[in-house]
Amino acid sequence: MSETKEKTSADATNGSPKPTSPNADLKLDFASFWEYSSAPESSDFVEINEKYNHFINGEFVEPEKGRYMKSINPASEEILTEFAEGTSEDVDKAVQAARKAYNKTWSKLSGRERGKYLYRIARMIQERSRELAITETMDGGKPIRESRDVDVPLAAAHFFYYAGWADKLEYAFPGRKPEPLGVCGQIIPWNFPLLMLAWKIAPALATGNTVVLKPAETTPITALKFAEICSDAGLPDGVVNIVTGAGQTGSAIVNHQGVDKIAFTGSTEVGKIIQKSLAGTYKKYTLELGGKGPNIVFEDAPIDQTVEGIINAIFFNQGHVCCAGSRLLIQEGISERLIQKLKDRMETLIVGDPLDKNTDIGAINSKAQFEKINEYLEIGVNEGAEIYQSKCDLPENGYFCRPTIFTGVGQSNRIVREEIFGPVLTIQTFRTPDEAIEKANNTPYGLASGIWTDKGSKIFKVGQKVRSGVMWSNTYNKFDPTSPFGGYKESGIGREGGLHGLYPYVKLN
């Protein structure tokens, strides 16, 4: 035995390298040999009004104080539209309209009829899908491929899914009779504007509630187009009210006496402020907050599939994803090879015009977010981490960020602990599953995580020990209306999606 072993090792170290394929060192070099012709989606037939007002009680109404804000296209920095800045007067009007609609019409309708309205809305989203996708991309900067293939179809699917629940609620809660809460105040973020609207409005209406929703101040347009859809669908006045504005408008909704429930998606920082301001009230609330998702790769993972998964986990939607896999944890034995493959793959990513169908990474959503990401890049470098960015060209105008990875980081580094919300990945290594679990859980967050291995039993073992609301095994960033989503620990309270997503909108008797 010892003889054979010696022989092998002698072979391997006998001066000459191991025989490999003559092409072993070659890799696809997209940058120099491949030129993609531009393939922009035409925005010609998409109409964006010069000015948008609040949608209250079935009508577009001017803001009481007459103030407007601007929404820009982050890829060109051009102004797209002006929209109303909501004050507490506007919010009050909207809440009153929602209350009236709840008392007079919506709570009197049968579940079946409510469901039929939701089906109508779902269909109309499908019918206007192209327009909605282009608008979403122009207003928010996300690649058209994502808004076309993910955001808009999923938004429609959410309405279809919850439409079917409206007349079947008695089957959802064993031993209990569900009743609606009343008026729901809903505040949504800028990363998936229409999709987050669907996550909020569909279950609320299906369970018999009425809604006052505020879209984010950088991405209000699709919500206002959704208001048009509500009108077209003949939804009774006041069932859905859209009030636009920034943080103060949101705060007016949270603190309004006439609101029975608050649903918020956004940062943990703001979530805590909301939770605090709801203290001592009887308002129900759900919070979908930040994350710092661990993406754990074991040595037995299928490596090329894993590389695709890592790319999708952190660079999907420019990394503006609360459940992004922003902390890569690699088992030591494969880390060098995996990181090299990851770098090679990053070089092929196309960063640029969000409306171009070839674009992989679009524009950073806003100037503020762009500055925040750049600040974190600086922090990472100052903390002594090693930065690697793909060498792609960036457009001259607009807010764009190269896909970035940091190696040589430690658990206590700020770029490892804090949510960056951009295309920035930190990479750490581990030796044993226990160490991976320990590192994965060493965070106040607990929204989502990923695990890559060929061994099923390892998925179940590690998956059980990692404290997060979503566990993507051998995949990442997948969403579906039937699948509950939401965080452990400081990543939030409550679930959205699926049967579990009905709970936040009912009281059980």
- How far apart (Å, rounded) are the C-alpha atoms in residues 256 and 237? 20
Instruction: Based on the residue annotation, tell me whether 322 is a catalytic residue of this protein.
Output: yes
Residue 339: its H or E element = helix 332-347
- How far apart (Å, rounded) are the C-alpha atoms in residues 102 and 283? 17
Smallest CA-to-CA distance from 224 within 353, 68, 398 is with 68
Exactly one of 5, 18, 276, 391 binds other proteins (CB under 8 A); that residue is 276
Catalytic entry in 146, 217, 288, 496: 288
> Which is closer to other proteins, CB of 18 or CB of 276?
276
Establish if 438 lies at the interface with other proteins (CB under 8 A): no
Stretch that binds other proteins, among 58-66, 250-258, 278-286, 317-325 (CB under 8 A): 278-286
The residues, any chain, with a CB within 8 Å of residue 468's CB and separated by 6 or more, are 291, 293, 294, 445, 446, 447, 448, 449, 487, 488, 491
Exactly one of 67, 371, 444, 454 binds other proteins (CB under 8 A); that residue is 444
Establish if 469 lies at the interface with other proteins (CB under 8 A): yes
Exactly one of 280, 396, 412, 457 binds other proteins (CB under 8 A); that residue is 280
Q: What is the SS3 string spanning 488-508?
A: CHHHEECCECCHHHHHHHEEE
Query: Closest distance between other proteins and the C-beta of residue 327, in Å?
Result: 18
Encoded tokens for 183: 């008026």
Yes or no: say if 180 and 103 are a contact pair by the CB < 8 Å rule. no
Query: Closest distance between other proteins and the C-beta of residue 460, in Å?
Result: 9
Q: Where would I find the H helices in 349-454?
A: 367-382, 414-417, 433-441
- How far apart (Å, rounded) are the C-alpha atoms in residues 88 and 256? 8
Stretch that binds other proteins, among 82-90, 129-137, 312-320, 478-486 (CB under 8 A): 478-486
Establish if 436 lies at the interface with other proteins (CB under 8 A): no
Establish if 174 lies at the interface with other proteins (CB under 8 A): yes
Provide the residue count of the chain: 509
Establish if 506 lies at the interface with other proteins (CB under 8 A): no
Establish if 303 lies at the interface with other proteins (CB under 8 A): no
Exactly one of 203, 294, 403, 486 binds other proteins (CB under 8 A); that residue is 486
> Which is closer to other proteins, CB of 276 or CB of 391?
276
- How far apart (Å, rounded) are the C-alpha atoms in residues 147 and 194? 9
Exactly one of 128, 214, 458, 495 binds other proteins (CB under 8 A); that residue is 495
> Which is closer to other proteins, CB of 11 or CB of 438?
438
- For CA atoms 401, 405, 406, 412, the dihedral sign is positive
> Which is closer to other proteins, CB of 241 or CB of 468?
468
Residues 326-385 that bind other proteins (CB under 8 A): none
Establish if 287 lies at the interface with other proteins (CB under 8 A): yes
Total residues interacting with other proteins, rule: CB under 8 A: 46
Catalytic entry in 322, 323, 392, 401: 322
Instruction: Based on the residue annotation, tell me whether 217 is a catalytic residue of this protein.
Output: no
- How far apart (Å, rounded) are the C-alpha atoms in residues 439 and 331? 12
The residues, any chain, with a CB within 8 Å of residue 150's CB and separated by 6 or more, are 195, 479
The beta strands (E) that lie in 289-355 are given as 294-297, 327-331
Stretch that binds other proteins, among 207-215, 228-236, 270-278, 373-381 (CB under 8 A): 270-278
Enzyme catalytic residues: 288, 322
Contact residues toward other proteins (CB under 8 A) are 157, 174-176, 268, 271-273, 275-276, 278-280, 287, 289, 444, 459, 463-464, 467-475, 478, 480, 482-486, 488-493, 495, 498-500, 508
